[in-house]
Structure 1
């Protein structure tokens, strides 16, 4: 069961990360992306006094599974874990943290921008229909 959970959390977390970075770009997923990126950034910041900067519950759960499987040491960041695993590097955790935060902030700004534009276009279309 732990091996299944390990793979499930890896795939789920990779998909979630990709969606957080790019979900704003697709019209059908824009509102869901806005909600998810806000939740993600809230987890990183609002929960930071309790768990540390950049806290992600999925990373926490995944690392619990990995520790139960005997894997250690584990980095503080899922992104660092994946980057190091794919490249065989030992990336700088500070650089990875800042890069991850930058991608998150850019994704939030893009999400807000495309959602506001879609809302404005929707209002214009409604006004044109009633005129």
Structure 2
């Protein structure tokens, strides 16, 4: 007679694992990969017209991030990373404003990395 193995997960143990610093490292690596792509496709202004050419391109930063994710009604901290652009005009470059076209650098960079990994 064959017996089926039973697995009962310990959610507390998995939750601790998901909030540890060593799990944050792959998140930071993924954000750094997207950052490299975003920098490569970022628009750079014409120096004769733009007071700060290349400011948007040089303003990408990756920061470690912990987020409260609700599980069974309780918030639980989970490790992650964020890719930010600290330029004051980052929202205009990303979404456009009528005079400036929509470049969607972060969205396109994420899509390029996803396609490269086959997701």
- Shorter-chain TM band: under 0.3
Q: Rg bigger for which structure? A: 2
Query: What's the TM-score, normalizing by structure 2?
Result: 0.27
Query: What's the TM-score, normalizing by structure 1?
Result: 0.25
Higher-helix-fraction structure: 1
Structure with larger RCO (C-alpha < 8 A, sep 6+): 1
